[in-house]
Amino acid sequence: MATIHVDGNAYDVDGSDNLLHACLSLGLDIPYFCWHPAMGSVGACRQCAVKQYKDENDTQGKIVMSCMTPAADNSWIAIDDDDAKAFRARVVEWLMTYHPHDCPVCAEGGHCHLQDMTVMTGHSQRRYRFTKRTHRNQYLGPFVAHEMNRCINCYRCVRFYNDYAGGTDLGVFGMHNNLYFGRHEEGVLESPFAGNLTEVCPTGVFTDKTHTRHYTRKWDLQYAPSVCHQCAVGCNTSPGERYGSVRRIENRYHGEVNGYFLCDRGRFGYDYINRDDRPRRPEWHDAGVKTLDVDPALDRGADLLRRADRVIGIGSPRASLESNHQLKTLVGENNFSTGIAAAEQACLARMAGIDAAGALATPTPREMESHDAVLVLGEDLHHSAARLGLNVRQAVLGRREELAEERGIPLWNAEAVKTLAQDSYHPLYIAYPSATELDGISAASMRLAPDNIARLGFAIAHEIDAEAPAVDGLDAATQAHAKEIARALLAAERPLVISGGSLESTAILDATDSVVRALARREKNGGLLMVRREANSTGLALMDGKPLERALEQVSLGHADALVVLENDLYERLPQARVDETLDAADGLIVIDHQRTQTWQRANLGLPAASFAETDGTLVNLEGRAQRFYQVYDPRHLRPECRLHAGWRWLDALRASLGRSAGEPLTFAKAVADCAESHPALAGMESAGDHAELPGTLKLARSPHRYSGRTSMRADISVSEPRMPQDPETPFEFSMEGYSGFDRPRRNVPFAWAPGWNSPQAWNKFTDSVGGHLSGGDPGICVAGTVKAASSGYPAANRIPAAFAHQGDRFQLWVLPRLFGGEATSARADAIAERAQTPCLRLSAADARALDAEDGETLTLTAGESRLPLALHIEADLPDGLVTLPAGVMPGAPNGHWVTLDKAPGKTPGKEDG
Amino acid sequence: MMTSIPSNSRLRYKSQLRQPASERLEHTHPLTWRLNDDGSRVGLDEYRQKNGYVGAQNALEQAPDDIIQAMKTANVRGRGGGGFSAGVKWSLTQVGDNLPRGYMVCNADEMEPGTFKDRLLMEQQPHLLIEGMIISARANRSKYGYIFLRGEYVDAARSLSLAIEEAREAGLLGDDVAGSGFDFDISLHTGAGRYICGEETALINSLEGKRANPRAKPPFPGQSGAWGKPTVVNNVETLCNAPAVLQHGAEWYQELSGNLSNDGGTKLYGVSGLVACPGLWELPIGTTGWDILERAGGMREGHTLKTWLPGGGSTGFLLPEHLELPLDFDTVGQYGSRLGTGLLTVVSQRQSLVALLRNLEQFFARESCGWCTPCRDGLPWAAKILQTLEHGEGRPGDIELLQEHAANIGPGLTFCAHAPGAAMPLESAIRHFRADFAAGIVEEDAKGGSAVADGSDTAAAKEEVS
C-alpha cells in the first residue's frame, strides 16, 4: 500500500500501480488514450499529464505523465492544476489537427473515447488552420471497418492485436504524422480477436461492420446483461437492441471470465436471431404450413402428446437449464435426453467425474493467466474456446512479468517488460493432431494422433509420479517429450493442464486424469480446465439425461412414438439417415426453436422460441459457473404479431394444456427454483443472477437516459401509445427509466455509462478497482467443479490405448473444431458465414502422395453410408494415417472411425472432363 | 563485408581537418595526432607504430572498475551532445553473476545538422574507435559490439569494415582479445537513414530490427538495452577519447583543458556556414567561439555574423556577444543553449533566419518517429506556421502560437529529447529575433479582419462605440 496526495486529498492506493491506474481506481478522472488497463502504459499520447511535486512544500512541481509514474508512497500530485490542464488541452488540440470531425457520420459517435476526452479537457476551439493529410482505407473483412483518417495514433490497436493477442497481420507503417495502422495490403484480419479493435480503438478507425449495417447510436440501444451462447466459455456480453433487432454485441466486463475482450464468433455471431426466416409464430405442418396463435397451438400440441403412448424429450446444450428442466418435467426423467450425441456425452461425463474428483482445482479464465507452465492435451483453443486462447497466451507471456520483477521494472511499463523478456516464455506444450495458433509461443507442439496424445499424457503422468501406470512400447520421441514436459510441470509453481472433449476422445481425458492425479500427488498447486463444446454443455452434463442416440432408438424401436425437441437440430448432431429413420417412425414431433432448422421443417408442431435476447435463463460454463442471461427486449412491443416465448414457458404451458389445468403460468423465478430443487448439483444456480429487486427499490434501466423515440417508435403500428412492456421477472425496466449509475455496488450492468464516459472505458467506473471485479461482485456462481480431497490411485490405469497404427488405405477420421462456421447457430449469421473459410479435408504429405492427390484436389470421403466430396489441403506435419475435417461440414461424422478416401471421378488433375 | 584486406591499402579521404600535422602532437591532440595531412587512412600497422592499442592493452590488464574510475576522473563527457559523464554511464551498466553480458554499441549515426566530426575519425582512423570500443566493452563486460553507422557514410563503412577485419586478424577482436582471456567482437550495422536513430534507445530498437521509436527510461539501456541485455551506448568521439585516457592517465587527460574548463580533454570543434574556411579543429575543451571562428578565417567577405548555433540544429541560437564564452557543456547551458556536438553553424546578417528555422523545423517534423503527440503533431504545425511567416502570410497570434508550441514540447513533456531539441532553436530564435518573425505577419486590416471572431474583437468594438 501507498499513500498518495491528489489535489490535497490523501488516498491509500496499491503502490505497485502507476498514478493513472491508481487515480482511475479512486474514481478520479484523468484523460488518457494510449494506456489500457489490460495492456499497461507506454507513455505515447501524453494525455494523462498531471503535476507532480517533490513533497508537500514544493510549490513549483513539474508535469509528468501519470501513466508512466509509479504511485509511490508519499507522492504529491495535482490533476486540477492550471499548467497540467492547459497541457492536456493542447494534447487533444494536437490530436485533433488531422481528425476529420465527422462524428455525425461516424459509427463511433456516442461511445467515442476521443469525444469524451475532448470534452473532458475542454478543448473547444480549433486553431489549426492548415490542410489535413488523408489516408486510403482498407477492406479488413466482414467484421471490422477501417477509417484511418480518424486515427489519433495512440498505438493501442497494434499493441492489442500483436502484443496481447499474438496477431501478425496488423502493423504500423510510416512515421512522423503520416502513420498508417493497417495491414500490409487489404485483406481479412486474421486474428480471431480482431473485433476487440472496435472497443480498443479510442475513436472510429476500427468499427463494427455488422453494427453499421443496421446502425444505432449507443444511447438509442436497449441492453441487458447477457452471456455469449456461442461456446462454453460463457463470456459476458451486452447485446444492444432497437426496433426489435439486436444491433451489436459489446463486451460486458467480467473480472474472472472475459475481462475486456471477446472473440469474434461471440461478438459478430449474433445475427442469427435477426434472421427474417426465423419462426415467429407457431406453425402446424401438415400438407402445408399453417400458422397458429398460442392457444390453438398449445391445444394441438397437447392433443399430439395425449395421443402418444410415450413421449421422448430431447433437450439441448444450447438451451437454458430452465428450459431443459421444464422439458424433463414434461416428459419425465426416463424420457429425457440431453440432446447430446453419445460420444460427446461420454466425454462430458468423464470430465464431470474428473472435476468432481477434484485432484486439481478449476481456474477461472483470469486465474489461468497466473499459471507458469501449461500443458494442452487435444485442444486447439483458438477454435474450441477462443477466449481461453487469449488467456493461455497471457499465461505464457507471464514469464515476462517474473523477469521484470527480478529486475525492478514495474509490470505496467509494458514496452520495457516486453523488451527485457524478448522471447522468454513460460513453457507451453501442445499435443494436437494439427497445427494450432498457439504453436508460435509453445516450447513444443507435438502433432499426434489422438490415441498417441493419450499415450503421451499417460507417459507424462508416469514421469511425474512413478506410481502412475507406465505406457508400454512408447517410442523414444514421445518418451523424451514426456520427460521434458513432466520436468517443466514439476518445475513450475502452478502448472495448468488443459484438455477437453473437442476430439471426443475419452482416452485423452483418462490421460488428463492421470496427469492431474500425478501432479496432485506431488502436491502441485496446479489447475485443470477442460473444454466443453456448447454454451450449456457443462450444465446438461449435470442434468442426467440420456444421450441422443439412446433417445432416438426408443422411437425407432417403437418404444416411444412422439418427440419434443427443444432448441436442437438433430441433423447437426447425427447423420441424416439416422435422424430420418427416427422421425419417419415417430407419430408426432414438436419442435421448440428460434431457428428454422432442418428438424423444425420435420415438425408437426413448431413453437417459436425466444432467443437469448428475448428471454431469461441460466447457463453453466466450462468452469462450472452458472451465469444468468437476461431478456434484452420484448419482441411483441414492436412486432405485435409475433408469438415468441421462452422454451421453458412453452413447455410449462404444454404441460398445463396437457393436464387441462389452468394454474398460474410459470414465473422465471419458479423455473429457476424448480430446476435447482430437482438437481442437487445445480442447487447454487439460484444465486447465478437476480430476480426483480425488492418492492420499493428502484429498478435498473435497460437503456441510457438519452434514449430517444420511445413514444414514437410504434407510431407506424398505432398512434395510441400502449403501456411499456413490464418485466416483473428481472431487476430491469424496459426503458431508460430506472437506475443506471455506478455509485452503488453493481453486478448486473446492462451497459456501462457514466457522466463524461460514453465509451467502453466507462467500465472502469463499475469496478472495485480498474481491471478488478465489478463493484457488486462479478456475476455468476460456481456450481460444479468444487474441489474435494484427491482420491488416490489411478482409475484409468488399464485404459491406456495402444499406439496409433496406420491402416493401409483407410484413414482415421477426426473432426476438428472450427471457430467460424463450426458452431451451428452463429454459422447462420451472415458475417460469420462470410468469414468462414472454405472447408477442406487435411492429409499428411505422405498420405497425399500415396493417394496421388494434389493440394486443392477434390477427394470423396466415405464414412459408413455418408459420402462427402471435399477439397484436399495437405498439411505436411499431420500424422500419417489421419484425415481431419472441420466441424460443421459432416454432421454426426464418427470421430475416430476409419474411413476411405477416393479421388472424385473426373476431377483428376490433367484429365479435363470431356 | 569485405572478405580480405588489400595488401597495400592507402585509402585516402578528403579531410575537413584544418590543422597541419606539425601542430598536432601526441600529448596535446590525442584524437587527431596520428592523422596524415594527405587524408590517407591510418591502417593497423601505422596505428600500432603510433602507439595504437596501448590504451586497450592497459585496459585489458585492469579491473573493469578501475577503467571506469579512470574515465570518471578524466571527466570525459558524452561527445554526442548529451555531455553525460562516460565514466558514470559505464558505472550504471548492470553486472552480476545472474545477468547476461550485454552489448557495447557505438552511436555512429552522425546526423545532427551541421555536424561532421565522427566521420573524420571513422574514415581516417577507424582503429581509434575500435580501441575505444574494446576499452568500453572491457569496462562494461560487454560480450559483443555494434557500430550503428549512418547509412550515407559509405566511405566510413569501408574503412571500418577493413579495420574490423584487420583487428580480427591481429587477434584484437574475437575470442581472447590480445591474449587477455576477454572475448569481444564487433559488427558494423549501417542505418537506413533516420535522424531519430541517433537517440540511443531508438538506435537500439532499430538495431533489433524494430521501429526506431525511443524507449521509456527508466529502465536505462544499462539495465535493459539491446535484446533486453545490459547495453552501453557511446558516441564515436567519446569512445575515441578512451584510449588516450587509458594510455596516459586520467590526470593527464583532465589537464589537457587546463583552466579553460572543468571538463577534461580535447574536443573536435568545427564551423560551417558563410565563413572563409569551414572545417574541423581539435582544441582543448573550453576554447571560445571567437578562437574557433578566427581559425575559420572569420565571416566571408561581405557578411557579418547575425547569430550562431553552437553544436547542431537542436541547440539554441546564440548572439555574437556569446562568442567569448568557453564552449563547454556547463557554460553554454547557462545561456539558453547547449554545447551539443560543438560544431558551430554561423548565420550571416544576409541570411533569412525565418527560412533557416523553417528548414530546421521541417527537418525535425519529418524526422519525428511518430510515437508521442506533442512531437508528432506539434512540430508539423509549427513548421507550417513558419512557412507562412516565411512567405509573409502569417497571422497575428502566430508568434505566440509558436512560443506556445516551443513551451509545450519541452523536456519531460515529450517522450524523448527529439522535440525538446527542436524547441530550443525555435524558442531562442524568437527570443532573440522576434522582429524577423513579426515581419512575416499580415496585419488584420490588410486581410479585412480576423479569420476567427473572438471575444477581444467584440470587446474592442464595444469600447469604440461607448
**Domain boundary residue, one of B323, B348, B373:** B348
Do A391 and A342 sit in the same domain of this protein?
no
For A291-295, A532-536, A538-542, A890-894, which range has the lowest pLDDT when averaged over its residues? Answer: A890-894
Which CATH number fits the domain that encloses residue B413?
1.20.1440.230
Closest CA to A151 of A124, A126, A133: A133
Q: How confident is the model at residue A899, as a pLDDT?
A: 96
pLDDT of residue A789 exceeding 70, the answer is no
Residue B1: inside a domain: no
* Contacting residues of B for A94, CB less than 8 Å apart: 373-374, 376-378, 381
pLDDT of residue B226 exceeding 60, the answer is yes
pLDDT of residue A910 exceeding 60, the answer is no
Residue A261: inside a domain: yes
CB contact under 8 A, A420 and B224: yes
Helix (H) or strand (E) holding A306: helix A294-307
Residue B32: inside a domain: no
Residue A823: inside a domain: yes
Q: Which of B92, B215, B376, B408 to mutate to test the interface with A (most CBs of A within 10 A)?
A: B376
pLDDT of residue B459 exceeding 70, the answer is no
Overall average pLDDT of the A306-314 stretch: 97
Q: How confident is the model at residue A788, as a pLDDT?
A: 54
* Contacting residues of A for B377, CB less than 8 Å apart: 94-95, 97-98, 177
* Contacting residues of B for A127, CB less than 8 Å apart: 401, 452
Nearest to A46 among B224, B380, B413 (CB): B413
CB contact under 8 A, A90 and B374: yes
pLDDT of residue B453 exceeding 50, the answer is no
Name, in order, each residue with C-beta under 8 angstroms of A828's C-beta and a sequence gap of 6 or more.
A271, A272, A275, A595
Query: Tell me: the pLDDT tens digits for A689-718?
Result: 988 765 567 899 999 999 999 888 999 999
Overall average pLDDT of the B19-44 stretch: 96
Q: How confident is the model at residue B10, as a pLDDT?
A: 65
**Domain boundary residue, one of A63, A95, A127:** A95
Do A436 and A392 sit in the same domain of this protein?
yes
Residue A37: inside a domain: yes
Do A517 and A368 sit in the same domain of this protein?
yes
Closest CA to A732 of A702, A687, A706, A752: A702
Nearest to B228 among A177, A178, A422 (CB): A422
CB contact under 8 A, A415 and B216: yes
Nearest to A87 among B367, B368, B408 (CB): B408
Alpha helices in A434-475 (DSSP H): 450-464
Do A383 and A258 sit in the same domain of this protein?
no
Q: Could you tell me which residues are beta bridge partners of residue A210? A: none
Chain B residue with CA closest to A98: the answer is B377
CB contact under 8 A, B372 and A125: no
**Domain boundary residue, one of A95, A113, A141:** A95
Overall average pLDDT of the A856-883 stretch: 94
Do B80 and B183 sit in the same domain of this protein?
yes
A94-to-A125, A203, B422 alpha-carbon distances in Å: 12, 15, 17
DSSP state, residue A816: E
Q: How confident is the model at residue B13, as a pLDDT?
A: 86
> What ipTM describes this predicted complex?
0.94
Chain A residue with CA closest to B408: the answer is A87
Do B281 and B339 sit in the same domain of this protein?
yes
Do B185 and B92 sit in the same domain of this protein?
yes
Nearest to B228 among A63, A153, A421 (CB): A421
Helix axes A647-658, A294-307, angle to 10 degrees: 60
Residue B68: inside a domain: yes
A649-to-A313, A321, A644, A685 alpha-carbon distances in Å: 15, 13, 10, 18
Overall average pLDDT of the A269-290 stretch: 96
Do B99 and B200 sit in the same domain of this protein?
yes
Do B432 and B302 sit in the same domain of this protein?
no
Query: Tell me: the pLDDT tens digits for A357-392?
Result: 889 999 999 999 999 999 999 999 999 999 999 999
pLDDT of residue A652 exceeding 70, the answer is yes
Chain B interface with A: residues with Cβ < 8 Å: 94, 194, 211, 215-216, 218-219, 223-224, 227-228, 365-374, 376-381, 384, 395, 401, 404, 408, 412-415, 451-452
CB contact under 8 A, B224 and A409: yes
Q: What is the DSSP string of B37-66?
A: TT-B---HHHHHHTTTTHHHHHHHTS-HHH
Number of domains in chain A: 5
Do B112 and B239 sit in the same domain of this protein?
yes
Do A826 and A755 sit in the same domain of this protein?
no
Do A343 and A392 sit in the same domain of this protein?
no
Q: Which of B92, B97, B224, B373 to mutate to test the interface with A (most CBs of A within 10 A)?
A: B373
CB contact under 8 A, B216 and A127: no
Residue B459: inside a domain: no
Residue A420: inside a domain: yes
Q: How confident is the model at residue A865, as a pLDDT?
A: 83
SS3 A24: helix
Do B122 and B240 sit in the same domain of this protein?
yes
Do B205 and B318 sit in the same domain of this protein?
no
CB contact under 8 A, B415 and A415: no
A679-to-A540, A544, A616, A647 alpha-carbon distances in Å: 11, 9, 19, 19
**Domain boundary residue, one of B255, B274, B298:** B255
Query: Tell me: the pLDDT tens digits for A556-605?
Result: 999 999 999 999 999 999 999 999 999 999 999 999 999 999 999 999 99
B3-34 CB burial, b ≥16 within 10 A, e <16: eeeeeeeebebebbbbbeeeebeeeebbbbbb
User: How close B449 comes to chain A (CA, Å)?
Assistant: 16
Q: Cell 471426443: give the residue.
A: A504
Overall average pLDDT of the B180-190 stretch: 97
CA–CA separation, A37 vs A200, rounded Å?
A: 11
Residue A574: inside a domain: yes
φ, ψ (nearest 5 deg) of residue A861? -95, 130
Do A386 and A333 sit in the same domain of this protein?
no
Residue A283: inside a domain: yes
Chain A residue with CA closest to B365: the answer is A176
pLDDT of residue B446 exceeding 90, the answer is no
pLDDT of residue B260 exceeding 70, the answer is yes
Do B166 and B297 sit in the same domain of this protein?
no
Strand A226-227 vs strand A9-13: parallel, antiparallel, or unpaired?
unpaired
**Domain boundary residue, one of B286, B316, B348:** B348
pLDDT of residue A56 exceeding 50, the answer is yes
CB contact under 8 A, B228 and A179: no
A744-to-A12, A747, A767, A776, B82 alpha-carbon distances in Å: 21, 10, 11, 8, 53
Do A520 and A430 sit in the same domain of this protein?
yes
Do B248 and B311 sit in the same domain of this protein?
no
* Contacting residues of B for A175, CB less than 8 Å apart: 194, 368-370
Q: How confident is the model at residue A908, as a pLDDT?
A: 43
Overall average pLDDT of the B405-422 stretch: 96
Residue B118: inside a domain: yes
Strand A617-620 vs strand A605-608: parallel, antiparallel, or unpaired?
unpaired
Q: How confident is the model at residue A913, as a pLDDT?
A: 41
What's the pLDDT band for B455 if we cut at 50, 70, 90? very low
Residue B285 · residue B264 · CB < 8 Å? yes
| Residue pairs between chains A and B whose CB atoms are closer than 8 Å | 106
User: How close A422 comes to chain B (CA, Å)?
Assistant: 6
Residue B33: inside a domain: no
CA–CA separation, A144 vs B29, rounded Å?
A: 64
CB contact under 8 A, A176 and B414: no
**Domain boundary residue, one of A70, A95, A120:** A95
Q: How confident is the model at residue A786, as a pLDDT?
A: 53
User: How close B379 comes to chain A (CA, Å)?
Assistant: 9
Residue A184: inside a domain: no
The whole-model pTM stands at 0.95
User: How close B456 comes to chain A (CA, Å)?
Assistant: 15
The share of chain B scoring above pLDDT 70, in percent, equals: 93
Query: Tell me: the pLDDT tens digits for A768-782?
Result: 999 999 999 999 999
CB contact under 8 A, A420 and B367: no
pLDDT of residue B223 exceeding 90, the answer is yes
Nearest to A62 among B228, B374, B412 (CB): B412
Q: How confident is the model at residue A697, as a pLDDT?
A: 72
Overall average pLDDT of the A872-899 stretch: 95
Do B273 and B306 sit in the same domain of this protein?
yes
CB contact under 8 A, A176 and B228: no
DSSP state, residue B365: H
* Contacting residues of A for B412, CB less than 8 Å apart: 62-64
Residue A135: inside a domain: no
Q: Cell 487435444: give the residue.
A: A378
pLDDT of residue A909 exceeding 70, the answer is no
Query: Tell me: the pLDDT tens digits for A471-504?
Result: 999 999 999 999 999 999 999 999 999 999 999 9
Query: Tell me: the pLDDT tens digits for B228-258?
Result: 999 999 999 999 999 999 999 999 999 999 9
Do A542 and A675 sit in the same domain of this protein?
yes
Q: Which of B223, B366, B367, B377 to mutate to test the interface with A (most CBs of A within 10 A)?
A: B377
Query: Tell me: the pLDDT tens digits for A656-672?
Result: 999 887 778 999 999 99
Confirm or reject contact between A203 and chain B (CB < 8 A). no
Do A497 and A580 sit in the same domain of this protein?
no
Do B49 and B198 sit in the same domain of this protein?
yes
A860-877 CB burial, b ≥16 within 10 A, e <16: bbebeebebebebbbbee
Chain A residue with CA closest to B364: the answer is A176
Q: What domain range is B408 assigned to?
A: 353-444
Q: What domain range is A28 assigned to?
A: 2-95
* Contacting residues of A for B371, CB less than 8 Å apart: 44, 155
Number of domains in chain B: 3
Confirm or reject contact between A411 and chain B (CB < 8 A). no
Mean pLDDT (chain A) is 95
A569: how many CB neighbours lie within 10 A of its CB?
Answer: 23
Residue B162: inside a domain: yes
Do A854 and A826 sit in the same domain of this protein?
yes
Q: How confident is the model at residue A534, as a pLDDT?
A: 98
Residue B440: inside a domain: yes
Do A430 and A287 sit in the same domain of this protein?
no
Which CATH number fits the domain that encloses residue A76?
3.10.20.740
Nearest to B373 among A94, A128, A407 (CB): A94
Q: How confident is the model at residue B457, as a pLDDT?
A: 42
* Contacting residues of A for B373, CB less than 8 Å apart: 44-47, 91, 94-95, 153
